[in-house]
Amino acid sequence: MPAGLYRALLTVAGAAVAIVLAVAISSVAISVAGASPEAAFAALFNFGESERAVVNGITSMINRSVPLFIAGLAVAVGFRMNLFNIGVEGQYRIAALCAAFVGAQFSLPAPIQILLIIVVAAAVGGLYALIPAVMKVTRGVNEVISTIMLNYIAIQLAAFLVRGPFTGERAKGQLTTSTPTLPESAWFPNLNGLFEMFGLPAPRGGGLWGFLAVAVLLGVAVWVLLERTKFGFEVKASGLNPMAALAAGVKPKKMVIAAMVLSGAIAGLIGLPEILGDKHNFGSNFTPGLGFLGIAVALLGRNRPAGIAVAALLFGFLDRAQGPLQFANVPPSVIAIMQGAIVLLVVVANEITSRMALRREERRAARQLGRHTPVEVAA
């Protein structure tokens, strides 16, 4: 069997075993909570009885997956460089706030308006990620510590700005504050037509976020950049062995800055699906935790855009099930247990399968070497 196919089959088998074990662990947790595992898993796959309910459930799952996919890409770029950009959480918060505020200050033709908001978000996220990158290459500060501390600064700074200088008009009796509402030219068109093409009813609310198309293009661009370009090779080489990369003419410090800034720029886009497709502002109740979930999504997807997409859909599927689980009298915390168990077990399975594949290749190389005579080997 070819080595590539063997490794792929091992990966799939390891992931399948990990998911089965995660289901078993979740069943124990559900039983301990006093609920029925059978009812819980039935509710997990319950999208509703009517066509509209099914469409709404699928839309909710995909909409939840889009920002998680972008977050996973942002984290994966850092991981490829052996950098742990834990600061994705703070980078997307401050970037989303600045992009929403700047976009509400004027009205331009729709494509220009949306493009400008995207550029602002990416620029702010990249610049905020530049801080720990410069600290690392100039003073040797560990990026995990610096990005965690910068998360707290960004979260508190965003909370201050949205309640102070960046706040918009607030309706009487409204408890939350937000930036001014974006003009309609900044509202990203939805993709409800995809459902109508198949004769299905359009989902309610904001519908299927149009930023899904941008996320797909972004995933393709990241794959091409990391797998098919000189930059991607230099990033991986610098991450694996900085000294060897330096001897080959690559500047590891320069690649640290480039990888971290690129990771932050992608992170800056995480909040845009919600801003451009649903809320049209940044509020004090803006969705938190997407950056931290992105770490789990990237690990689950093995830092590959295709794998990250599958992991994001899995997390979106589980998050969507919180409502049906509550109707089945199952605590919503079970979802968090399932997500944590899946990530932990898949990471362990990946490590085991990687070692198995490596040992197989070593044995094959040893057998091939043993077939030669001592004279042939010496020659």
Reported as a single tens digit per residue, the pLDDT across 236-293 is: 999 989 999 999 899 999 999 999 999 999 999 999 999 999 999 999 999 999 999 9
Confidence of residue 1 (pLDDT cuts 50, 70, 90): low
CB 235 within 8 A of CB 119: no
The token pair at 269 is: 């886009």
Q: Which position has the higher pLDDT, 333 or 265?
A: 265
Q: How far is CA 274 from CA 98, 170, 222, 228, 265, in A?
A: 14, 20, 22, 31, 17
Single-letter amino acid, residue 239: G
pTM: 0.91
Going by C-alpha positions, the residue among 210, 218, 312 that lies closest to residue 265 is: 218
Q: Which position has the higher pLDDT, 336 or 111?
A: 111
The mean predicted confidence, pLDDT, of the chain is 90
Looking at the structure, do residues 123 and 176 belong to the same domain, yes or no? yes
The Cα–Cα gap between 30 and 119 comes to 45
The HSE-up count of residue 319 (CA atoms within 13 Å, CB side) is 20
Residue 378 within any structural domain of the chain: no
Residue 55 within any structural domain of the chain: no
Looking at the structure, do residues 136 and 175 belong to the same domain, yes or no? yes
Buried/exposed code over 35-53 (b: 16+ C-beta within 10 A; e: otherwise) = bebeebbebbebbeeeeee
**Domain region containing 20:** 1-46+328-371
Residue 376 within any structural domain of the chain: no
Looking at the structure, do residues 101 and 2 belong to the same domain, yes or no? no
Residue 130 within any structural domain of the chain: yes
Looking at the structure, do residues 35 and 77 belong to the same domain, yes or no? no
Domain with residue 313: its CATH number is 1.10.3470
Looking at the structure, do residues 73 and 33 belong to the same domain, yes or no? no
Extract long-range pairs of 359-364: CB within 8 Å, 24+ residues apart: 360/3, 360/6, 361/3, 364/3
Q: Which position has the higher pLDDT, 9 or 178?
A: 178
Mean pLDDT of 102-128: 96
